[in-house]
Amino acid sequence: MEVGFLGLGIMGKAMSMNLLKNGFKVTVWNRTLSKCDELVAHGASVGETPAEVVKKCNITIAILSDPAAALSVVFDKDGVLDQIGSGKGYIDMSTVDPETSCKISEAIALKGGHFLEAPVSGSKQPAETGQLVILAAGDKALHEEAVPAFDVLGKKPFFLGPVGNGAKMKLVINMIMGSVMNAFSEGLILAERSRLNPHSLLEVLDLGGIANPMFRGKGPEMLKDNYSPAFPLKHQQKDMRLALALGDQNAVSMPVAAAANEAFKKARSMGLGDLDFSAVFETVKLLKHSS
């Protein structure tokens, strides 16, 4: 099976590498073409433009940083729309708002192509190990055709119905994750200020009803001030903003998420946007030092 892949950031690089290791033929593109070099060394081909990738492959996957990037790859000169058509499918695995997914879907349908949105739950390590959760919506036939690739990329694909539902589900998940990370950060500082050992807190949490992989994986690194990016903070803040907009559309009061968004914005203003989203911990530490 030959697959195109657009976008070789933290997630895209790991995902396309997994496809290669599992016997897929992969043609890759990235705005900075030098990022393709490692994948080429593992057998990938390179397309000079998104259009060139789509022309070569019946299924093209993209995972891009934000709605603007997702739209640019489709609508700009030499973009996806230049070559999409009958018999070709486009799968956007970026985290975007439902309106962006719908706009892309409508444009591809007008050209005779097939569209699936499929944002993923999971960050760098699940991408590397093929343990993502895939939140697909849109063209059911394309979903079935893509299952062999999804089985390599993730531990479970969900088909959620019409275009927009995948984007909504991903935004809800990331809103919860970002809000919990803020509460977790406050808890670590509260333990320390209360003269408790924060490492003991991590052990207790891991034995209780709210034990989870995020606390287990991020907590020890946060206490060491290690924020090597698995999921960049700037993307988490973008997702909080989009989730709050979804809340506005549905008249859902979200004060906890709104407060968490402000903390991520503060972290971005501190120059932490390219670090892991757990670096929001630094905003709580800053409040501690200023008190």
155 φ, ψ (degrees, to nearest 5): -90, -20
- The token duo for 219 is 């907590």
Half-sphere exposure of 179 (CA within 13 A, CB side): 16
Q: Would you say the C-alpha torsion 147, 177, 231, 247 has a positive or negative sign? A: positive
Exposure string of 125-159, with b = 16+ CB inside 10 Å and e = fewer, is ebbbebebbbbbbbbeebbebbeebbebbbeebbb
Tell me if residue 27 falls in helix, strand or coil: strand
DSSP code for 36: G
DSSP code for 276: B
Exactly one of 13, 103, 168, 170 is catalytic; name it: 170
Is 170 labeled as catalytic in the residue annotation?
Answer: yes
Instruction: Measure the CA–CA gap between 256 and 181, rounded to whole angstroms.
Output: 12
Active site residues: 170
